[in-house]
A and B are shown apart, each in its own frame.
Chain A
Amino acid sequence: MTQDQGTCKNALICPFHGWVYNLDGTLRGAARPDTFPALDKDEFALRTVEHEIWNGFVFVRFKEGPQPSVKKLLSPYEQEAACYNIADQVPTDGFWVEHSPVNWKSIRDVDNEGYHVAMAHPGLQDLYGSNYRDEPYENGVSRSEGQFTTSNGRHWAVRNYKKLSKPQTSLPKSLAKTWIYYGIFPNSVIAMTPETSLFYQEFPVSVGESIIRSATYRYPNEDRQQKVARYLASRIDRETVVEDQQLTIWSNESMLSNSFDGFHLSDLEYGVRTYHDHLRALLPVYNIKETPNENEINHLNFSLDAKSA
């Protein structure tokens, strides 16, 4: 369990003293069992963590929250997601992890609207530009899609990607030339392209620092053309990530300025507004105009919650 990857063939072993746990978490035995009384395998089992598998993605939750199950959350997209056979896909190049000197919500804000695409993402604009559309966050999820435009593509990677993209036969025509994104409140996105599926998510480290984590999966039976298309898609995506990271840094810097007086949202940015509506509903302290001290936040949330109840 201390390894980044691998399989536990037979049991889980604590690397400290060597207690052995069965794969269902029950205790198989303590190291030097002769020095212990009989230990009940259930009483001394590993603690159970709430978890759920959705199309091969494993979700864990250390503390129960107000969100329903992932299956229920993503039920509006169940049929569509099934077309991608995500659970059969295999990892491409492991996990990508990066620290970013921004508040985690800034990352989500940039990702939750397509208003900035024409200005900030020449590659994506070239790929699906005017065909991009997103839906507001509703009941904890949002969906965005970018259907490839019919132009040949001005950028080298986009031009060749459009030429070589070759969807799996399982994909219906409507998804064959489309990138799809499912936003899961509060910090995750699962995306599908004709060649891959992927996820990315943000974790707050502190008010001003976040970790971004991502992984991409491919079909195990991809042919050479699909492999090249996947490479080209990753190039387009990689440029987009760099561009978005810069935007989040600028956005964070702007909020620190004395001149900052809030954001003015376009009608096209309903994704941002509805996302923050979700946060406001969960965290009453969000509705206070003045920034409270960090050590007051819990208490304030609690008292505001009690008032509204």
Chain B
Amino acid sequence: MRHKPSISLEFEAQKMFLFSKIGVPGSGAIRYAAAMFFYNHDKISAEMLEIYRRCCKFDKEDPIDLAQFEGIEDIPNFILEL
């Protein structure tokens, strides 16, 4: 039987995915998938998740830039701090 990773390990892994380097091929989708994880754990809003969805196919698009451009106010600290 495969062991599920502990939730804190999963959080760390998803955090790493969320902060995948901008511009790396496929990174837009990786960030969006991680954002969905954090949405499921009430760490980001539906509005912020939608920003990640919009950036999903655009690896060079920085979701935080876009969120700020769109005037989204509740960008979580754990995202901004990086």
- Note whether A and B form a binding pair: yes
**CB within 8 Å of B: which residues of A?**
6-7, 9-11, 13, 15, 18, 20, 28-29, 31-34
* A148 to B49 CA separation, bound complex (whole angstroms): 61
Whether, in the assembled complex, B51 has its beta carbon less than 8 Å from a beta carbon of chain A, the answer is no
Q: Are B56 and A13 within 8 A (Cβ)?
A: yes
Q: Are A33 and B34 within 8 A (Cβ)?
A: no
The one of A10, A18, A28 in contact with B53, judged by C-beta atoms closer than 8 angstroms, is A18
Q: Are B30 and A20 within 8 A (Cβ)?
A: no
The one of A15, A20, A33 in contact with B46, judged by C-beta atoms closer than 8 angstroms, is A33
**Minimum distance in angstroms from B26 CB to a CB of chain A:** 7
* A9 to B28 CA separation, bound complex (whole angstroms): 12
What residues of A have a CB within 8 angstroms of the CB of B11 in the complex?
Answer: none
What residues of A have a CB within 8 angstroms of the CB of B40 in the complex?
Answer: 28-29
The one of A6, A9, A18, A29 in contact with B17, judged by C-beta atoms closer than 8 angstroms, is A9
For A21, give the chain B residue with the smallest CB separation: B33
Q: Offer 24 A-B interface pairs, CB within 8 angstroms, sorted by A.
A: A6-B26, A9-B30, A10-B17, A10-B30, A10-B33, A11-B36, A13-B29, A13-B32, A13-B33, A15-B57, A18-B32, A18-B53, A18-B56, A20-B36, A28-B36, A28-B37, A28-B40, A29-B39, A29-B40, A32-B46, A32-B50, A33-B36, A33-B39, A33-B49
The dominant DSSP class at the B interface is helix
The dominant DSSP class at the A interface is loop
What residues of A have a CB within 8 angstroms of the CB of B56 in the complex?
Answer: 13, 18
* A15 to B56 CA separation, bound complex (whole angstroms): 9
**Minimum distance in angstroms from A25 CB to a CB of chain B:** 14
What residues of A have a CB within 8 angstroms of the CB of B39 in the complex?
Answer: 29, 33
What residues of A have a CB within 8 angstroms of the CB of B53 in the complex?
Answer: 18, 31-32
* A18 to B33 CA separation, bound complex (whole angstroms): 9
**Minimum distance in angstroms from A137 CB to a CB of chain B:** 38
